[in-house]
């Protein structure tokens, strides 16, 4: 018995070493780093305990970033669902060209983020962008500064929703395809309309996948860095979309305060952990996962 | 069951392996002797001149000569974008593996010097001709009686204006902020804005604010106490001016980039690009209407001064070469620089982007051989503006609000912090109250300097 346990541990060892080295160690190191005043590159550091956490509690920049990050994550998540779920329902129906459309809809998710952002910035540019060109042809008097402070968040949200809604489509569609057709046939025999079939068959059947989509997309959008940074990271207008990941990056690599950047990362981690716990408590039910 | 014998035309596995082994062996032993008996040493050189023709010139002149002179060495040059340089350099320093020789932004040099990371280069400076190096750059990296850097070339920054449009209105180039506002109002026409600033925070949040303060009698910090001066009279007057000036440019400017402004100027969408240099000539020659690609239509314009300033200040783009104390081959690095600055090599280097790469040597600036370059001849008026600015003391290095800023070891952090950029955007685009925003920036910058351990005030 003891020998077989040893063999078991030995077999597990590579995974444990990998997990420890690639997941646990970085997290612990980050927590440790957040307790130091550490320059990003120079070998200069001093232990400061919880000073950074106290600082951020009253730092207006932190709260502004938290606000922008929450707005960005919340709105993009809702819109991705709003676009992705109907698209998946549509692609679950039988029609000519469905297979082609299923491939095309994945396109935004497949292209590199840098390409997606450059494409949208080009479209939205107020000097030579196609969007303003079309709007002005339609009678708009002056070009809209889509990349200026008033609209930069909206532009970022549109870009992000366009880029990430295919994930919702693919995931939701995969679940839709596993719903037994007998359920719909029975509902139809009972006289249920299309809306009722969606409400009483499709929605309960897909609740588990919706639960996971909302969870994952919320976490991913709240921690999204590349799209936000590429949209305006090095620009003056970045002030209006400076989400928490961007602020953490800035503290680490442009303010060169690695300790403070690490503290922000820990704060985000704790926030997401708490939000996930609340989410599970509120919405998870055993029936959903049975 | 027997296998059928392989046809004679096929290559057996043993033969294949033997042949491959022989080929690899021949390749290994057939290489230059350096690969076997003599270790090839690599001199890592990083710089910020990314234009392909400049990279090629460096390769064909300095590097070729260096490698002839030092047969055991290979030089690996890496041209880095301006914005990437600092981060990559600091990362390489942190990893203990910096390049042997590199360009540095002058506002970085003091920070590295104070940490003991740079080697002095007095001998090299004397060999190059200390007194022949232009005063605008000579002592930028001069600390405690020693030189720690030498500028690779000088390139002035300024407005680039549509001279023809201004002259049509009968207006002179602006001397003061008020003149500039009048000019901007006059040049705003249907379908064309008067000007456009670059939206990158490096420029609108660091390079230009330094110019504004220098042009209006201000400075980043108090010289003695290092207390930030972001809510000083000088800055408040400037913010007031900027708020007025902002009406004459596209409201989307803060989301656009430097190159967008060059394109907008060349294609007639604006009358002045706020940040320009001789590199703009390339854009003009490529994108402006053919009959307008000349100094009669496009001219540099130096910065105006504020109500509290004496002279308008423009930034001088000119990184310095530096050799790190961790450099593996310091002697060879200095030798590389001697070859780089040899007249025949250096002249070609400067001619690779004419006027933008103006020589640092006074003797060369007026040298007929230098001025004989076709583009310099055509755009001589641009060269003359640069010479005028140099003689009038209208230039300071990028990010400097006064010459003594070369001693400040925190300008890179201030630039990276976005504090000044946020203030400028809130005032210019957000229309917020200048005093309130300046006070906020002041508080944030005081906090930053305190956190970085540079607080000297009580």
Write the CA distances from A48 to A34, A51, B446, integer angstroms.
9, 6, 19
Q: Whole-model pTM above 0.90? A: no
Maximal C-alpha separation, chain B: 103
Distance CA A104, CA A101 (A): 5
Write the CA distances from A277 to A65, A209, A223, A274, B6, integer angstroms.
22, 18, 17, 5, 68
Q: Is the dihedral of CA A111, A114, A119, A124 positive or negative?
A: positive
Placement of tokens 């021949």 in the chain? B26
Angle formed at CA B288 by CA B282 and CA B291, multiple of 5 degrees: 115
Question: Which residue in chain A is spatially nearest to B441 when comparing CA positions?
Answer: A61
Maximal C-alpha separation, chain A: 82
Instruction: Work out the angle between the directed axes of helices A25-33 and A258-283 (0-180°, nearest 10).
Output: 120
Placement of tokens 């500028």 in the chain? B151
Predicted pLDDT at A230: 94
Q: How far does the CA of residue A158 sit from the closest CA of chain B (Å)?
A: 16
Backbone angles phi, psi at B375, to 5 degrees: -70, -35
Backbone angles phi, psi at A38, to 5 degrees: -125, 130
pLDDT in tens, A176-226: 999 999 999 999 999 999 999 999 999 999 999 999 999 999 999 999 999
Predicted-assembly ipTM surpassing the 0.90 threshold: no
DSSP helix/strand/coil, B222: coil
Distance CA B288, CA B299 (A): 13
Per-residue pLDDT of chain B (458 residues; tens, 9 = 90+): 344 444 444 556 666 666 666 666 555 544 444 444 557 899 999 999 998 999 999 999 999 999 999 999 999 999 998 767 877 887 888 788 899 999 998 888 888 888 888 999 999 999 999 999 999 998 888 898 999 999 999 998 999 999 999 999 999 999 999 999 999 999 999 889 999 999 998 899 999 999 999 999 999 999 899 999 999 999 999 999 999 999 999 888 988 888 889 989 988 999 999 999 888 898 899 899 999 999 999 999 999 999 999 999 999 988 999 999 999 999 999 999 999 999 999 999 999 999 999 999 999 999 999 999 999 999 999 999 999 999 999 999 999 999 899 889 899 889 888 999 999 999 999 999 999 999 999 999 999 999 888 999 98
Is the Cβ pair B256, A253 closer than 8 Å? Answer: no
CATH 1.10.3720.10 assigned to A33-96+165-289: yes
Beta bridge partners of B273: B160, B196
Question: Which residue in chain A is spatially nearest to B190 when comparing CA positions?
Answer: A142
Predicted pLDDT at B34: 46
Interface membership of B204 toward A (CB under 8 Å)? yes
Residue among A148, A236, A260 minimizing CB distance to B421:
A236
Is the Cβ pair A40, B205 closer than 8 Å? Answer: no
CB atoms closer than 10 angstroms to residue A136: 13
Distance CA B331, CA B320 (A): 18
Instruction: For residue B420, list chain A residues with Cβ-Cβ distance below 8 A.
Output: none
Instruction: Name the fold adopted by B41-154+318-394.
Output: D-Maltodextrin-Binding Protein; domain 2 (3.40.190)
Write the CA distances from A125 to B252, B260, B267, integer angstroms.
8, 10, 15
Residue among A42, A128, A235 minimizing CB distance to B254:
A235
Which is nearest to A79 in space by CA: A171, A168, A170, A195? Answer: A168
Enumerate chain A positions whose Cβ falls within 8 A of a Cβ in B: 37, 40-43, 61, 125-128, 143, 145-150, 152, 232, 234-239, 242, 250, 253-257, 260
Instruction: Tell me the pairing of strands B193-196 and B270-276.
Output: parallel
Distance CA B444, CA B441 (A): 5
Which is nearest to B448 in space by CA: B402, B425, B416? Answer: B416
The hierarchical CATH code for the domain B156-315+417-451 is: 3.40.190.10
Question: Which parts of B220-354 fold into alpha helices (H)?
Answer: 233-245, 258-266, 280-287, 330-340, 343-352
Instruction: Kindly state the tokens that stand for A97.
Output: 């060209």
Question: Which residue in chain B is spatially nearest to A247 when comparing CA positions?
Answer: B417
Rg (CA), chain B: 26
Instruction: For residue B87, list chain A residues with Cβ-Cβ distance below 8 A.
Output: 253
Residues in CB range of B295: below 8 A, 6 or more apart: B163, B378, B379, B380, B381, B382
Residue ranges, CATH 3.40.190.10, chain B: 41-154+318-394, 156-315+417-451
Predicted pLDDT at B274: 96
Predicted pLDDT at B90: 79
Which is nearest to B159 in space by CA: B298, B302, B270? Answer: B302
Predicted pLDDT at B12: 62
Distance CA B14, CA B18 (A): 6
DSSP string, B341-384: TSHHHHHHHHHHSTTTSB-SBHHHHT-HHHHTSHHHHHTHHHHH
Q: How far does the CA of residue A38 sit from the closest CA of chain B (Å)?
A: 9
DSSP string, A20-53: IIIIIHHHHHHHHHTTEEEBSSSS-EEE-TTHHH
Instruction: Kindly state the tokens that stand for B408.
Output: 């400040």
Is the Cβ pair A235, B269 closer than 8 Å? Answer: no
Q: How far does the CA of residue B420 sit from the closest CA of chain A (Å)?
A: 10
Is the Cβ pair A145, B260 closer than 8 Å? Answer: no
Is the Cβ pair B254, A37 closer than 8 Å? Answer: no
CB B229 within 8 A of CB B218: yes
Residue among A143, A237, A242 minimizing CB distance to B254:
A237
Instruction: For residue A51, list chain B residues with Cβ-Cβ distance below 8 A.
Output: none
Is the Cβ pair A127, B430 closer than 8 Å? Answer: no
Instruction: For residue A150, list chain B residues with Cβ-Cβ distance below 8 A.
Output: 251
Q: How far does the CA of residue B258 sit from the closest CA of chain A (Å)?
A: 10
Element (H, E) at A7: helix A2-19
Instruction: For residue B416, list chain A residues with Cβ-Cβ distance below 8 A.
Output: 250, 253-256
Predicted pLDDT at B115: 82
Which is nearest to B208 in space by CA: B198, B196, B193? Answer: B198
CB B192 within 8 A of CB B271: yes
Instruction: For residue B444, list chain A residues with Cβ-Cβ distance below 8 A.
Output: 61
Residues in CB range of B238: below 8 A, 6 or more apart: B209, B212, B213, B216, B218, B306
Is the Cβ pair B425, A237 closer than 8 Å? Answer: yes
Residue B213 exposed, middle or buried by CB count within 10 Å (0-12, 13-18, 19+):
buried
Instruction: For residue B413, list chain A residues with Cβ-Cβ distance below 8 A.
Output: 255-256
Question: Which residue in chain B is spatially nearest to A36 when comparing CA positions?
Answer: B451
Is the Cβ pair B254, A146 closer than 8 Å? Answer: no
What length does chain B have? 458
Distance CA A195, CA B370 (A): 80
Which parts of chain A register pLDDT below 50?
none
Placement of tokens 């790469």 in the chain? B357
Residue among A236, A254, A257 minimizing CB distance to B199:
A236
């Amino acid at each position: 018995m003891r020998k077989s346990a040893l063999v078991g541990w030995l077999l597990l060892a590579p995974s444990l070493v990998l997990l420890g080295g690639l997941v646990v160690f970085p997290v612990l190191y980050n927590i440790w780093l957040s307790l130091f005043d550490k320059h990003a590159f120079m070998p200069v550091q001093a232990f400061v305990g919880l000073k950074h956490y106290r600082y951020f509690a009253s730092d207006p920049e932190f709260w502004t970033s938290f606000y922008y990050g929450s707005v960005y994550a919340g709105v993009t998540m809702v819109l991705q669902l709003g676009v992705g779920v109907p698209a998946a329902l549509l692609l679950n129906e039988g029609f000519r060209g469905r297979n082609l459309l299923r491939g095309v809809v994945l396109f935004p998710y497949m292209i590199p983020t840098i390409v997606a952002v450059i494409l949208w910035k080009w479209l939205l540019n107020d000097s030579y962008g196609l969007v303003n060109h079309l709007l002005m042809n339609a009678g708009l008097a002056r070009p809209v500064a889509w990349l200026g402070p008033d609209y930069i968040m909206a532009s970022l949200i549109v870009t992000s929703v366009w880029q990430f809604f295919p994930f919702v489509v693919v995931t939701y569609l995969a679940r839709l395809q596993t719903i037994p057709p007998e359920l719909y046939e029975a509902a139809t025999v009972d006289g249920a309309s299309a809306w009722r079939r969606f409400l009483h068959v499709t929605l309960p059947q897909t609740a588990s996948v919706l639960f996971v989509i909302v969870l994952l997309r919320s976490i991913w959008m709240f921690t999204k860095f590349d799209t936000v940074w590429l949209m305006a990271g090095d620009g003056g207008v970045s002030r209006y979309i400076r989400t928490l990941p961007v602020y953490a990056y800035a503290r680490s690599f442009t303010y060169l305060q690695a300790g403070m950047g690490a503290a922000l990362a820990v704060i985000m981690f704790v926030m997401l952990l708490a939000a996930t716990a609340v989410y599970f408590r509120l919405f998870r039910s055993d029936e959903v996962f049975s | 069951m027997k296998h059928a014998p392989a046809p004679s035309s096929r290559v057996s596995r043993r033969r294949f392996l033997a042949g491959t082994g022989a080929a690899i062996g021949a390749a290994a032993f057939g290489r230059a002797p350096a690969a076997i008996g003599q270790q090839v040493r690599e001199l890592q050189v990083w710089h910020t001149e990314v234009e392909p023709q400049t990279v090629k010139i460096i390769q064909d002149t300095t590097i070729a000569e260096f490698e002839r002179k030092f047969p055991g060495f290979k030089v690996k040059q890496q041209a880095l974008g301006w914005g990437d340089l600092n981060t990559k350099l600091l990362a390489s320093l942190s990893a203990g593996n910096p390049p042997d020789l590199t360009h540095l932004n002058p506002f970085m040099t003091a920070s590295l010097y104070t940490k003991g990371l740079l080697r002095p280069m007095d001998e090299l400076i004397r060999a190059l001709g200390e007194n022949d190096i232009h005063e605008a750059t000579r002592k930028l990296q001069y600390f405690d009686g020693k030189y720690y850097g030498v500028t690779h070339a000088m390139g002035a920054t300024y407005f680039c204006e549509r001279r023809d449009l201004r002259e049509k209105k009968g207006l002179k180039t602006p001397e003061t902020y008020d003149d500039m506002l009048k000019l901007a109002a006059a040049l705003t026409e249907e379908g064309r804005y008067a000007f456009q600033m670059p939206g990158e925070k490096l420029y609108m949040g660091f390079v230009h604010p330094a110019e504004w303060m220098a042009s209006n009698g201000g400075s980043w910090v108090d010289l003695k106490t290092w207390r930030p001066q972001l809510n000083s009279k000088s800055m408040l007057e400037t913010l007031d001016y900027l708020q007025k000036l902002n009406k004459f440019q596209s409201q989307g400017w803060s989301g656009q980039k430097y190159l967008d402004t060059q394109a907008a100027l060349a294609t007639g969408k604006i009358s002045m690009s706020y940040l320009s240099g001789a590199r703009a000539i390339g854009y003009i020659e490529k994108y402006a209407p053919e009959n307008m690609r000349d100094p009669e239509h496009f001219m540099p314009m130096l910065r105006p001064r504020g109500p509290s300033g004496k002279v308008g200040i423009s930034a001088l783009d000119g990184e310095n070469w530096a050799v790190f104390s961790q450099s593996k081959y310091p002697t060879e690095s200095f030798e590389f620089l001697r070859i780089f600055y040899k007249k025949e090599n250096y002249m070609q280097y400067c001619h690779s982007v004419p006027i933008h790469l103006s020589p640092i040597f006074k003797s060369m600036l007026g040298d007929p051989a230098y001025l004989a370059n076709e583009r310099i001849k055509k755009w001589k008026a641009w060269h003359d503006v640069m010479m005028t600015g140099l003689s009038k003391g209208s230039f300071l290095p990028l990010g400097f609000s006064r010459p003594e800023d070369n001693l400040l070891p925190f300008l890179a952090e201030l630039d990276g912090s976005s504090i000044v950029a946020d203030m400028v955007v809130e005032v210019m685009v957000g229309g917020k109250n200048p005093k309130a925003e300046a006070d906020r920036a002041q508080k944030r910058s005081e906090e930053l300097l305190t956190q970085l351990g540079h607080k000297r005030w009580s």
